[in-house]
Amino acid sequence: MFIALAIILAAGFVGWLIWRAVKGKQISIHLAMYGLCALSGIYAIVFFMNMDIPRPAKILTAIALGIVLIYIAARQQRRKQQSQHDTKAG
């Protein structure tokens, strides 16, 4: 089931990129890279969840990884906001 969901999401993302290109709308490189990173993350999670290890270990690992990624994203956003604030003030 997870594999089918990952394939559907990948096809949807590629279809969305093609639709934007056909409509003549600009596709920014960071948006395309963000989508590719999200898809690769989904495939990694699907692969991890299909591994032959106990379910509680999978759940705890996924929760710990989520906490780490949220912390990193919040830290990066805080740095970006501070640098923008420093640029406006200075």
Tell me the per-residue pLDDT of 21-72, one tens digit each, with 9 for 90 and over: 888 888 787 778 878 888 888 788 778 778 888 888 888 888 888 889 889 8
Q: What is the DSSP string of 15-79?
A: HHHHHHHHHT----HHHHHHHHHHHHHHHHHHHHHTSSS-HHHHHHHHHHHHHHHHHHHHHHHHH
- For residue 89, the model assigns a pLDDT of 65
The answer, as to whether pTM is greater than 0.75, is no
Going from N- to C-terminal start, the domains of the chain cover 1-51, 53-90
